[in-house]
């Protein structure tokens, strides 16, 4: 009955895993600037790119890892979901781990870069941690110390289960037994190192069950399944080069040669004097006087000639 209940719970958890259809661009996470690349519509996580960073939120029900390449800085966690399981997930890997609901921001430089989403390994450590819950009070005297022992033991057992799951694929019965022996040896060594002596038999009874190993390996496969539903890469290009400077303005046209100043216009001719007003009567009198004077001169000249003629030659005549 207990194992049937475990199987039902695992199936229900698998059905609850989102398909990733709600992920992709999430403009509410940042002021969007897609000049260096967009978020793929089928990107596994919710993401937003702005001028200086990439912000990512994990909308899945499973934790994932995020690796970076290129000109990408260290992440800044902006939302860290609380809870013992989420904290345990973050401690399982040396990579950046986003538990369900976590939000992180990766600053980026001027060069190209990318994020790569991957599964959390060893994924089997999560169901192993759950299986150790009944023994928590027996693992150490203090709750905090007991949590540390459980986390360390779950990680080591999960790794052994993952190795065993890869070992048994395509093997014969005898070879599978060899895989089981190596897994049991690794698990027994971990228990002997971490678990107090009085709790060792009970803990080994749970951790050395091959049927549970199969269940935990299957749970790990289901935890990896959402990663097949979306794009795992988010790439960003380098800062585009600045536009070329505008061409220099065309040279100003050479000024036209200065034209000589026009010759000054000749002064207008002086207006002729207004004709004097002539008094006809006075003019007639003057004319008559001139005629009289001219007549007198003519008479005098005639007298002078007669006088000369009378005197004759040698007397002063001509």
Task: Please check whether residue 285 lies inside any domain of the structure.
Answer: no
Nearest to 195 by CA among 155, 157, 130, 146: 146
256 in a structural domain? no
pLDDT grade for 10, boundaries at 50, 70 and 90: very low
Q: Is residue 293 part of a domain?
A: no
Give the tokens for residue 117. 């989403």
Give tens-digit pLDDT for 223-245.
Answer: 999 999 999 999 999 988 888 88
Share of the chain above pLDDT 70, in %: 90
Cβ-contact 23, 38 below 8 angstroms: no
Taking the C-alpha atoms of residue 291 and residue 295, their distance in angstroms, rounded to an integer, is 6
Name residues whose C-beta falls within 8 Å of residue 199's C-beta, 6 or more positions apart in sequence: 135, 138, 139
Q: Are 216 and 128 in contact (CB under 8 A)?
A: yes
* 291 falls within a domain: no
Q: What are the CB-based long-range contacts (under 8 Å, 24+) for 149-156?
A: 149/194, 149/195, 151/88, 151/91, 152/194, 153/128, 153/190, 153/191, 153/194, 153/195, 154/88, 154/125, 154/126, 154/128, 154/129, 155/92, 155/122, 155/125, 156/186, 156/187, 156/190, 156/194
Write the pLDDT tens digit of every residue in 238-269: 988 888 888 888 888 888 777 777 878 888 88
Average pLDDT over residues 75-87: 93
Neighbours of 174 (CB within 10 A): 7
User: What's the chain's Rg over C-alpha atoms?
Assistant: 60
Within a domain: 263? no
Q: How confident is the model at residue 313 (pLDDT cuts 50, 70, 90)?
A: low
Query: Does residue 243 sit within a domain?
Result: no
| 300 is a domain residue | no
**Sequence-distant contacts of 95-98: CB under 8 A, at least 24 apart:** 95/65, 95/66, 95/67, 96/65, 96/66, 96/67, 96/68, 97/63, 97/64, 97/65, 97/66, 98/45, 98/56, 98/57, 98/58, 98/63, 98/64, 98/65, 98/66
Q: In sequence order, what are the beta bridge partners of 189?
A: none
Asked if residue 294 belongs to a domain, the reply is: no
CA 162 – CA 107 distance, rounded (Å): 34
Tell whether the torsion through CA atoms of 142, 148, 153 and 154 is positive or negative.
positive
pLDDT digits (tens, 9 = 90+) for 31-50: 999 999 999 999 999 999 99
Cβ contacts of 123 within 8 Å, gap of 6 or more:
62, 158, 162, 219, 220, 221, 223, 224
pLDDT at 254: 80
| Cα pseudo-dihedral 10, 11, 15, 16, rounded to 10 | -30
Please give the residue range of the domain that contains residue 136.
2-236
Q: What is the pTM of this model?
A: 0.67
**How many structural domains does the chain have?**
1
Mean pLDDT along residues 133-158:
92
């Amino acid at each position: 009955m207990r194992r049937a209940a475990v199987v039902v719970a695992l199936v229900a958890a698998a059905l609850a895993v989102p398909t990733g259809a709600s992920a992709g661009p999430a403009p509410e996470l940042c002021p969007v600037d897609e000049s260096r690349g967009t978020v793929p519509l089928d990107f596994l996580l919710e993401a937003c790119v702005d001028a200086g960073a990439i912000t990512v939120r994990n909308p899945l029900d499973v934790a994932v890892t995020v690796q970076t390449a290129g000109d990408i800085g260290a992440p800044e966690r902006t939302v860290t979901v609380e809870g013992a399981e989420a904290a345990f997930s973050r401690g399982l890997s040396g990579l950046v781990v986003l538990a369900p609901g976590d939000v992180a921001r990766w600053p980026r430089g001027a060069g190209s870069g990318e994020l790569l989403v991957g599964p959390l390994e060893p994924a089997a450590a999560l169901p192993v941690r759950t299986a150790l819950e009944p023994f928590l009070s027996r693992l150490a005297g203090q709750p905090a110390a007991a949590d540390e022992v459980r986390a360390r033991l779950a990680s080591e057992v999960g790794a052994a289960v993952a190795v065993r799951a890869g070992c048994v694929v395509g093997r014969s019965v005898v070879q599978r037994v060899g895989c089981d022996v190596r897994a049991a040896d690794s698990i027994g060594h971990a228990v002997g190192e971490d678990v107090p002596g009085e709790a060792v038999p009970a803990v080994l009874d749970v951790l050395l069950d091959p049927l549970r190993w199969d269940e935990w390996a299957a749970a790990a496969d289901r935890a990896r399944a959402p990663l097949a539903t979306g794009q795992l890469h988010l790439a960003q290009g380098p800062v585009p080069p600045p536009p070329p400077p505008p061409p220099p303005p065309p040279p100003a046209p050479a000024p036209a040669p200065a034209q000589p100043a026009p010759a000054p216009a000749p002064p207008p001719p002086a207006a002729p004097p207004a004709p004097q007003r002539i008094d006809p009567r006075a003019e007639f009198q003057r004319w008559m006087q001139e005629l009289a004077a001219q007549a007198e001169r003519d008479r005098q000249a005639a007298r002078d000639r007669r006088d000369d003629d009378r005197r004759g030659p040698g007397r002063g005549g001509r």
